Amino acid sequence: MKIKSTLLGLGALLLSGLVQAQDGWNWPADAAQEAKARELNAAYVDYMKSEQFVEATRPLNWLLVNTPELNESIYINGVNVYKGAADKTADEAKKVVYQDSVMAIYEKRLTLYNNEAKWIENKAYFGYLFFKGDKAKIPAVIADFEKAIELNGNINHQLVGAYFDLVYRNNALNQAYTGEEVLAKYEMANGLLNKSEAEGKDVTSSRNLLEQVLVNMELIDCDFIENTMGPKLAADPTNEELANQIFKYSVQYKCYSSNSFLTALELIDSKKPTFATSQVRAMRYMAQGDFEKAQPVLEKALTLAENDKQKGEINMELAKVHAKAGRKSDARTSAKTAASLDSELTSSAWGLIGDLYMSASNDCRGGTSRAKDYSIFIAAYNAYQKAGDSKGMGEARARFPSKEELFTEGLQVGSSISTGCWVGETVTLSTRD
């Protein structure tokens, strides 16, 4: 995970604003104390400017303890000093003390100046850097992130991944959330990125990071969607937000066969139909053998289609629906329309038509002329030929009339005959032998 490199530039930005002067200095009333405070204030600032951060902590600490209301600058600069000292020292125990001091400075600043909205995001950022591996301290850092979001409505989009990484760690180390709570936090974080994106910011890397953290959590799979999220939608079938989540995750994790996916899809397609939702919904009905429910949804999808390819796809599916319902003439019409709209459907469309003709024997048998009764198989052969289906052509030819049957009826190979019936085609007579 590349959160560290993602945040380096942001860290430099947060640390860049060293404050050297603020209005409202409250020097001690005692002359000796005032002189010492002025001396130590100048000393820590000089150390800070020369990046001698460990040395700067000593005069700064005296000011924080003895003149806590001297000026807000000692808190603003204090963060940089103690963060710098933590980075400089190799002693792990001292490093932790300096890091804790950064947090303590923010807390003291809150009690004195009550301007948390100005710096809470910075505090959360440093908390992430310092304590992301500390099981006990992670919850407080998460609280700081969520406070920043509450106060300011958003956080820097580069920090969204860090926030959700903490959620991941808190869940792994402390079993802090239910699956639904994790998803709620994910959706909230994704919403923050949407806000930033709407403001013109490039959130691509942040969004990829967010998605990767969710995948790493191994929280969502088809069983989770079906058995955890599905019952909640069943209990609240008008919950569009939950339906959208189920739909999104079902697509992401390829859980198309679940009942919860269909339930979510039905709600979404009923409220805000698109070509895709209507098409997929109809396909689910067809997979279940419910062609009666599929037809009106397909017809709706046809009105939402944006190009000939989409219209061709829907007409092809309508042809299958009509065929299953025994509406063979309608099925043929839809199949021909599909082929005319999309040449890639020519084979499947004419193959279906060939199947329709092959199944028309009982429908169209008049019983007075074998040549006429068998002519539908010639029509089927022609359809299979257009489909490029050699197997179908062979099966159809096997049921052509024989030479003897044509001779008996006074007919000749090469003459024309109408199939009659709903097939209604004129074909050239041929024989199977």
Is the pLDDT at 338 greater than 80, yes or no? yes
On whether residue 162 sits in a domain, the answer given is no
Instruction: Give the domain extent around 89.
Output: 1-114
Where does a domain end: 91, 114, 137? 114
Which among 114, 138, 162 is the end of a domain?
114
> Is residue 93 domain-resident?
yes
Last residue of a domain, one of 61, 83, 114: 114
Q: Note whether residue 344 is domain-resident.
A: no
Asked if residue 336 belongs to a domain, the reply is: no
The pLDDT of residue 362 is: 86
Specify if 163 maps to a domain.
no
Q: Is 372 exposed, middle or buried (0-12, 13-18, 19+ CB in 10 A)?
A: buried
Please tell me the total count of domains within the chain. Answer: 2
The reply to whether 286 falls in a domain is: no
Determine, yes or no, domain membership for 278. Answer: no
CB-CB neighbours of 268 under 10 Å:
18
pLDDT in tens, 140-164: 999 999 999 999 999 999 999 999 9
What's the pLDDT score for residue 16?
A: 46
Distance of CA 323 to the CA centre of its chain: 36
For 171, the token pair is 């869940």
In this predicted model, what pLDDT tens digit does every residue of 214-249 receive, in sequence order?
888 888 889 999 998 999 899 999 999 899 989 988
In a domain, 387, yes or no: yes
Cα(345)–Cα(309) distance, integer angstroms: 9
* Tens digits of residue pLDDT in 385-428: 999 999 999 999 999 999 999 999 999 999 999 999 999 999 99
